[in-house]
A = this chain, B = another copy of it.
Amino acid sequence: MLGVQQAIELMGVGVFALTGALVAARKSMDPFGFIMLGTVTGIGGGTLRDLLIGATPISWIFDPTAVLVCAAVSLTAFFTAHLFESASRTRILLWADAVGLALFAVSGTERGFAAGAPAVSAVLLGVVTATFGGIIRDVMAGDVPLVLKRDIYVTAALAGAVVFALTAAVVPPPLPALFGFAVAFVTRGLAISHGLSMPQYGARRDE
């Protein structure tokens, strides 16, 4: 299972690095700016999770594979992003972010369980892993975090993490990971493609 876990984690790192690089493109940064923002986005969520768990030194210090994946993805984006129109890039950004969100919701929850956390906290660590890379990316870039947009975001990560946590006790791997990924991705995907959203806070008329 560890191999699958690591593969899921690295895929999540890669797609989140891509989203960071696409934000760097929007800000017309130089190549090392791409690498910086891509890397922080790719490894930010997992790094925060590992800090909270106390799993230090953080794993990428002694095995920089994830960092090198981020750098490679970011540089590739620097040299190829201009091949796509602006609207396409925004769409790629949203969908890559959705894939990363779903992958990290699952892998983060699994890491939480592996660290001995109770189910509530493992799910919470899944949500932290899935959302904080993007939050750090958006805050560093001076944008409003996607997570604050009104359409379903935290909800999707939470749904995937909960489905993984519930099914992990019942069916053998890698089924729980597949179920959790599918639920998170479809939930977030519907929000992107159909503009679905949770009932949002209804403010008073006088505001």
Structural contact, A124 and B64, CB atoms closer than 8 A: yes
CB distance from A205 to the nearest CB of B (A): 10
Structural contact, A28 and B150, CB atoms closer than 8 A: yes
A81 interfacial by beta-carbon distance below 8 Å: yes
Complex contacts, A82 vs chain B, CB 8 Å = 201-204
Structural contact, B68 and A115, CB atoms closer than 8 A: no
How extensive is the interface on chain A, given as a class?
Answer: 35 or more
Structural contact, A148 and B29, CB atoms closer than 8 A: yes
Structural contact, B152 and A141, CB atoms closer than 8 A: no
Complex contacts, A32 vs chain B, CB 8 Å = 154-155, 158, 198
Complex contacts, A57 vs chain B, CB 8 Å = 52-54, 115, 117
Structural contact, A67 and B25, CB atoms closer than 8 A: no
CB distance from A91 to the nearest CB of B (A): 14
Structural contact, A120 and B203, CB atoms closer than 8 A: no
Alpha-carbon distance between A35 and B53 when the two chains are bound, in angstroms: 21
Complex contacts, A62 vs chain B, CB 8 Å = 116-118, 121
Structural contact, B28 and A61, CB atoms closer than 8 A: no
Residues 78-104 of A at the B interface (beta carbon under 8 Å): 78, 81-82, 85-86
Alpha-carbon distance between A53 and B117 when the two chains are bound, in angstroms: 21
Alpha-carbon distance between A125 and B124 when the two chains are bound, in angstroms: 25
Assess A56 versus B53: contact at CB under 8 Å? Given A34-B201, A140-B148, A154-B36.
Answer: yes
Structural contact, B28 and A200, CB atoms closer than 8 A: yes
Structural contact, B81 and A33, CB atoms closer than 8 A: no
- A-B contacts, 15 of them at CB < 8 A, read A30-B198, A30-B200, A31-B198, A33-B153, A33-B154, A34-B201, A36-B127, A36-B147, A51-B51, A53-B61, A67-B121, A68-B120, A78-B201, A85-B206, A139-B139
Which residues from chain A sit less than 8 Å from chain B, CB to CB? 24-25, 27-37, 47, 51-54, 56-58, 60-62, 64, 67-68, 78, 81-82, 85-86, 112, 115-118, 120-121, 124-125, 127, 131, 135, 139-142, 144-145, 147-148, 150, 152-155, 158, 197-204, 206-207
